[in-house]
């Protein structure tokens, strides 16, 4: 099948679904005219210059020292002794620089006023310790993206991939279903009501039972959130089925059956084509099994587990087999001397696997910690430069893939066309996920750094900040769905 060649490389079926979902990001949230902004800024600066003589005593003009937090550092003894070729652990020396909760810049109020910045919404920065109450507020801010009329169509109940588009993929549907489950489990919504979990889920399941299919009998790659096919992008695709997006949707549907067992028959019916009017997914199972025999793709681990949950007899050992393949690869050291397997490794599929899959092998959790430690080691080696590699929107129309390891390279960035020379982005979803998993000073400080720069999360969290400090100001389903999963995980594991 055509997907195998792409899938064994960059997992391009997944990459292709993202490249149209980017829009130019805005870094400010209100829209004065240029002349109006200048006038307001001049007036406020004048006030601050005068008032600074009042706020700074003449005898001691030293600003208040930044607040420092005491957090546990990462346990770097993560070598897994259960495999014959473990990924070696190296303990980076922690050298944490804690940012101030509020900027020492006297002009910060001007900047905040122009950007309508409300610093009371910087929940991690403003909290002396992280607990379930703090994580529930984080979950609530991320859930803001999924409000009707924001990231979800108020008529159909179907999601949008980002704040400036009105379409979605099956991957996005999986993110949305998981977000609804997580919102319910964290107490943000109940089962009942027009926009409770039951109603939201029913809208998605009904869509899956009735949506238009392509000429091969599989889902189109893109749909509009009014429920119609998005032909402008779908007609550009050449493969009949998107294995990656389908597998991710299957992960969410498996979790949905566990969340609400009354939906099991409906879900199994359209996945297994019981009524002969849906897709024959079973036809791709032999090719998936064949792919898993040699795959070292971290995306494959995640999405093929989704298929295995529906065809366990044929695919029961997919998880273990792919992990064994990964651990059998030679290792490569990052410039900061963290050892990782020489594969194509980025954070999103690892984090999704930990938050959403059951029975992950211990080798995967060891790999996840090593990937995290690579980021912390980079920070220490660069004297305080944050890094949170993942996939996502950029400042152009490209969808970026930031690879911690890319075969024989480290810290490598690509887009759907190939290598990219863009400034790497510190993705918000990855930073919050690190904090939920490891609760280290490094992860906390990185989230505080992003909170300081991002817009108010009234419609969800901003996508990130690039490594030069420029805000990637849009919001999206991928960002807020993963943060919501991270928050639910943190609440469940650290009540």
Q: Is residue 437 part of a domain?
A: yes
| Per-residue model confidence as pLDDT tens digits over 407-462 | 999 999 999 999 999 999 999 999 999 999 999 999 999 999 999 999 999 999 99
pLDDT band at 114 (very low <50, low <70, confident <90, very high): confident
- Predicted confidence (pLDDT) at residue 132 exceeds the cutoff of 60: yes
Cα 152 to chain centroid distance, Å, stands at 18
pLDDT of residue 103: 56
Tell me the pairing of strands 409-415 and 425-427: unpaired
Q: Give the pLDDT mean for 226-234.
A: 97
pLDDT band at 50 (very low <50, low <70, confident <90, very high): very low
Total number of domains in the chain: 1
Q: Give the pLDDT mean for 467-476.
A: 95
Range of the domain at 226: 2-8+32-493
pLDDT of residue 109: 80
Q: Is residue 14 part of a domain?
A: no
pLDDT of residue 365: 96
- Predicted confidence (pLDDT) at residue 254 exceeds the cutoff of 80: yes
Q: Is residue 287 part of a domain?
A: yes
CATH number at residue 240: 1.50.10
State the average pLDDT for the chain.
Answer: 83
Q: Is residue 26 part of a domain?
A: no
| Per-residue model confidence as pLDDT tens digits over 305-343 | 999 999 999 999 999 999 999 999 999 999 999 999 999
Report helix, strand or coil for 162. strand
pLDDT of residue 93: 41
Q: Is residue 127 part of a domain?
A: yes
Residues contacting 224, CB < 8 A, separation 6+: 166, 167, 230
pLDDT band at 255 (very low <50, low <70, confident <90, very high): very high
Residue 152 forms beta bridges with which residues? Answer: 148, 159
Query: What's the N-to-C CA distance of the chain in angstroms?
Result: 46
Residues contacting 239, CB < 8 A, separation 6+: 2, 3, 6, 13
pLDDT of residue 104: 64
| Per-residue model confidence as pLDDT tens digits over 382-392 | 999 999 999 99
pLDDT of residue 389: 98
Q: Give the pLDDT mean for 263-287.
A: 97
pLDDT of residue 256: 98
Percent of the chain predicted with pLDDT > 90: 75
Greater pLDDT, 33 or 119: 119
State phi, psi for 232 to the nearest 5 degrees: -55, -40
pLDDT band at 473 (very low <50, low <70, confident <90, very high): confident
Give the whole-angstrom CA distance, residue 43 versus residue 351. 46
pLDDT band at 108 (very low <50, low <70, confident <90, very high): confident
Write the DSSP string, 371-436. Answer: HHHHHHHHHHHTTS------EE--SSSPPEEEEEEETTEEEEEEETTEE--PPPEEEHHHHHHHHH
- Predicted confidence (pLDDT) at residue 229 exceeds the cutoff of 50: yes
Whole-angstrom CA distances from 326 to 188, 241, 336, 424, 447 are 38, 26, 21, 25, 30
Q: Is residue 17 part of a domain?
A: no
| Per-residue model confidence as pLDDT tens digits over 150-203 | 999 999 999 999 999 999 999 999 999 999 999 999 999 999 999 999 999 999
Q: Quick one: which H or E segment has residue 466?
A: strand 462-466
pLDDT of residue 494: 80
Greater pLDDT, 20 or 326: 326
Percent of the chain predicted with pLDDT > 70: 79
Q: Is residue 18 part of a domain?
A: no
pTM: 0.83
Q: Is residue 465 part of a domain?
A: yes
Of 43-57, 121-135, 214-228, 389-403, minimum mean pLDDT range: 43-57
Whole-angstrom CA distances from 216 to 227, 241, 278, 340 are 19, 8, 11, 40
């Amino acid at each position: 099948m055509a997907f195998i060649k792409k899938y064994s490389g960059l997992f391009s079926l997944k990459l292709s679904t993202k490249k149209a979902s980017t829009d130019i990001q805005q870094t400010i949230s209100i829209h004065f005219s240029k002349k109006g902004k200048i006038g307001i800024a001049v007036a406020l600066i004048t006030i601050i210059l005068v008032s600074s003589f009042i706020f700074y005593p003449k005898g001691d003009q030293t600003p208040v020292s930044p607040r420092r937090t005491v957090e546990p550092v990462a346990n770097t003894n993560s070598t897994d002794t259960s495999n014959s070729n473990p990924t070696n652990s190296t303990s980076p020396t922690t050298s944490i620089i804690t940012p101030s909760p509020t900027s020492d810049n006297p002009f910060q109020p001007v900047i905040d006023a122009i950007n309508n910045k409300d610093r009371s919404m910087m929940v991690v920065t403003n909290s002396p310790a992280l607990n379930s109450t703090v994580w529930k507020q984080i979950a609530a801010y991320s859930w803001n993206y999924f409000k009707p009329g924001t990231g979800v169509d108020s008529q159909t109940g179907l999601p949008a991939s980002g704040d400036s588009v009105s379409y979605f993929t099956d991957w996005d549907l999986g993110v949305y279903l998981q977000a609804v489950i997580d919102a319910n489990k964290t107490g943000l919504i109940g089962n009942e009501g027009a926009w409770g979990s039951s109603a939201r889920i029913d809208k998605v399941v009904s869509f899956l039972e009735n949506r238009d299919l392509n000429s091969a009998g599989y889902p189109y790659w893109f749909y509009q959130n009014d429920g119609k096919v998005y032909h402008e992008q779908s007609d550009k695709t050449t493969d009949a089925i998107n294995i990656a997006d389908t597998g991710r949707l299957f992960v969410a549907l498996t979790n949905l059956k566990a969340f609400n067992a009354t939906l099991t028959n409906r879900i199994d019916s359209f996945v297994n084509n019981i009524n002969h009017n849906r897709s024959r997914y079973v036809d791709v199972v032999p090719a998936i099994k064949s792919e898993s025999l040699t795959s070292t793709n971290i995306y494959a681990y995640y999405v093929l587990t989704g298929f295995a949950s529906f065809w366990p007899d044929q695919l029961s050992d997919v998880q273990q087999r792919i992990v064994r393949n990964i651990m059998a690869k030679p290792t490569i050291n990052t410039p900061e001397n963290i050892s990782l397997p020489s594969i194509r490794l980025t954070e999103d599929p690892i984090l999704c696997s930990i938050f959403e899959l059951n029975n992950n092998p211990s080798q995967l959790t060891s790999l996840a910690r090593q990937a995290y430690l690579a980021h912390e080691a980079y920070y220490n080696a660069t004297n305080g430069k944050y890094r949170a590699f993942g996939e996502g929107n950029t400042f152009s129309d490209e969808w970026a893939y930031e690879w911690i390891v890319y075969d024989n390279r480290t810290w490598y960035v690509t887009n759907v066309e190939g290598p990219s020379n863009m400034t790497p982005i510190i993705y918000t979803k990855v930073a919050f996920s690190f904090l939920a998993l490891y609760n280290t000073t490094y992860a906390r400080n990185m989230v505080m750094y992003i909170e300081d720069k991002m817009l108010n999360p009234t419609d969800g969290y901003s996508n990130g900040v690039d490594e030069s400090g420029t805000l990637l100001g849009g919001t999206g389903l991928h960002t807020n769905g993963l943060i919501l999963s991270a928050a639910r995980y943190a609440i469940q594991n650290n009540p």
